Amino acid sequence: MVELRSDIFIIPTSNDISIIYAPLRGAAFYADSGATCIIKEYVERGNVSEESKDTTVYKYLHELSQLEVEKPKKEEIYNNSSGVMFILSQICNLKCSYCYSQNSRSKEILSMEKIKTVVDSVCANNIKKNKTFSFIGGGEPLTTWDVFKCSVNYINKSTEKSGISRRIGLTTNGTLLNKERILFLKENEIVISISFDILPDVQDNQRPFPNKKTSSFERVHNNIKMLLSNGLIPKIRSTITNNNVNLMTQMVEFVIKNYPEIKLLHLEPVTDITENSDDFYRAYIASFMKAKQISKEKGIYIKNSITHSFKRIRTRFCHGEFCVTPSSDIVSCHRISSDKEECFESFKYGKVINDIEIDAKSTNHVQEIFDEKSKHCSTCFAKWHCAGGCAMFRVLSTEKVQLSYCTFVKNTLKSVLEEKLGI
């Protein structure tokens, strides 16, 4: 059981009040300076003066102390019971300015033989009856349309035979869709997420075709319209950089006007240690919260990985993925998916050969990386949401960059708490 004293955090705000937050109990309230002093006394001593026991804030603390909560349990890194993430290839038809894999691409394509081996293994694992099969980037999945189509057909056949409920997800840049492919996606109930930076100038600048003669915005815009006209409503994931950090309200308004059926936007700050200054993070939070207010009024849900994490209590930012790369390696992070990338061996823990082969020593090493925390985590109110942050980002960035990101995480969650409390 978790004692209340270790689950109480005092978060100062810009005015003369504090947010009192108990994350494991899902409770938050605001306190003036007098009430805050009583709470500090409780946290430090485990008790308060007799005079303070007659206050409203002490009654709150007493009620919270009666709630029985436990720390979340850790999950194993390797776990194919829930499903699998496939990177079919690292081939891509765009040249995105912020692409994390453009310097480590190969022309290798994951074979159907390997895909079938993985699907069979996932279906044979009976721990969970609901399985997710995701096809994501590293390249553009639809550059290998025939492999994708055969994979979906095999998943359908295998899950039906095993009596398993399946969900198939596709993350695409949206440029290679056409009527025939859209009908296939609809027939197979594929959940679609489109990587798209929404505003025409931003999209064409940040996600251009290599020749830069054709507008990627026009191509994706028209394909989204085609999806919607066929009853398929995709999610949109946009990357926020210095180019569009102050344009998030315009992005939301553009979606409302042009794609009114779409109700989910993911606006994620770019992972770039050269761009992500403290000024960028401050601008991002201000712009995101304004966009969030507009989206709320219009019935659209917008999120980023931080605000989404507010709804979850966890021991790791990411539990670690069961991700199969084009070279049939099994990695714990889809962003470290090539042996040309730094720290690849630190995130690899298996291989698909004739069967799925998991290396125990590598798995333990991966587990250690994902469990690692900063010395600041133990006293941080965000520790059960952030849970140490992204392992990939932590391994590849400096301590200074990590501290800057840590401040960003705390300020984002603080803004969410202020919004919910009406401060």
Please, what are the averages of pLDDT over each run of 10 residues along the chain (423 residues)? 91 90 95 94 90 92 91 81 94 90 79 97 90 92 97 97 95 98 98 98 96 94 98 98 97 97 96 79 97 94 93 88 96 91 92 95 93 89 92 88 92 95 83
Give residue 260's pLDDT: 97
| CA dist., res. 178 & res. 191, Å (int) | 16
Give residue 124's pLDDT: 94
| CA dist., res. 191 & res. 237, Å (int) | 13
- Reduced 3-state DSSP string for 246-314: CCHHHHHHHHHHHCCCCCEEEEEECCCCCCCCHHHHHHHHHHHHHHHHHHHHCCCEEECHHHHHCCCCC
Distance linking the first and last C-alpha atoms of the chain: 31
Please name the residue that has the structure tokens 């721990």. 127
Q: List every span in the chain annotated with CATH 3.20.20.70.
A: 83-366
Q: Check if the beta carbon of residue 68 is closer than 8 Å to that of residue 121.
A: no
Digit-coded pLDDT (tens) for 306-333: 999 888 898 888 889 999 999 999 999 9
Give residue 273's pLDDT: 61
| CA dist., res. 18 & res. 233, Å (int) | 41
Give residue 70's pLDDT: 87
Q: Provide φ and ψ at 30, rounded to 5°.
A: -105, 155
| CATH topology for the 83-366 domain | TIM Barrel (3.20.20)
| CA dist., res. 313 & res. 319, Å (int) | 12
Nearest residue to 116 (alpha-carbon basis) of 155, 162, 59, 72: 155
74 DSSP 8-state letter? P
Give residue 76's pLDDT: 78
Q: Check if the beta carbon of residue 288 is closer than 8 Å to that of residue 248.
A: yes
| DSSP three-state, residue 231 | coil
Distances 384 to 11, 25, 316, 378, 381 between C-alpha atoms, Å: 15, 11, 8, 10, 8
Report yes or no on whether pTM surpasses 0.85.
yes
CA torsion 199-201-206-208 (nearest 10°) is 110
